[in-house]
Amino acid sequence: MITALAARWVLTAVFAAAGLTATLPSRAPAESAQLAERVSAVFCGAMCAALIAMIWRSEPAAATWPQAALFGCAALWFGLTSLAGSGRGWRPACLPYPTR
């Protein structure tokens, strides 16, 4: 747990912005989003919410296991989608998709 109050608020703002950016719909129509992209967005938003909870709560035992399960499932999901080789995996908006 972070003890400096200013650092808590800064990190809360950073994680909230990252979570909202990942989960809010993009300008493309909803029909164009693939299921894998939606699942990745949900995992990213949930991980950001878990990180915010970690900043403000000092590791109660009841929250430790669900957070570990969430991060484990997300890591497995992101690893499997990157191995799928579709070339359409999630990437930051500032990076263009590679051309083949």
pLDDT tens-digit series, residues 1-50: 567 888 889 989 998 998 888 888 766 655 555 777 778 888 888 888 88
Task: Report percent pLDDT > 70 for the chain.
Answer: 66
50, 65 Cβ separation under 8 angstroms: no
- 45 neighbors 23 (Cβ within 8 angstroms): yes
Nearest CA-CA partner of 68 in 54, 84, 88: 54
Q: What is the pLDDT of residue 16?
A: 92
Confidence of residue 87 (pLDDT cuts 50, 70, 90): low
Return the domain boundaries, the chain.
Answer: 34-85
Among residues 95, 93, 87, 77, the alpha carbon closest in space to that of 26 is found at: 93
Check if the beta carbon of residue 55 is closer than 8 Å to that of residue 8. yes
CA dist 33 and 28 (Å) reads 8
Tokens standing for 66? 């669900």
Q: What does the mean pLDDT of the chain come to?
A: 75
